Amino acid sequence: MSLEDKLIEEIKKWTTKLDDALRTAKARNDRGDKMLSNIRAYCKDSGHFLERGDLIKSFECLIWAWAILELGRELALLRTGSSRDVR
């Protein structure tokens, strides 16, 4: 399997996991709403770059989306169905 194939596989795997997390994500306030909006925008951008074959940018967008999700959980601005939620 080529490096490109591995990266595509990772992008698809983590996109699915992020989509699953976002299905149960709830904002706790306006700041959380803004975070969810940014996460969804990065997910959309990731798909855009994947379609165009820019795998690095696609993966970078996923990393940003995950980082915002994790920060939202840590700061108790977002709640998901995960047991990792702060509150």
pTM comes to 0.87
Question: How would you classify residue 76: left for phi > 0, otherwise alpha for psi between -120 and 50, otherwise beta?
Answer: left
- CATH fold of 33-81 reads Substrate Binding Domain Of Dnak; Chain:A; Domain 2 (1.20.1270)
How confident is the chain (87 residues) per 10-residue block, as mean pLDDT?
96 96 96 98 98 98 97 95 51
| Contact in structure between 76 and 30 (CB atoms under 8 Å) | no
- At 82 the pLDDT is 56
Residue 41 has what DSSP assignment? H
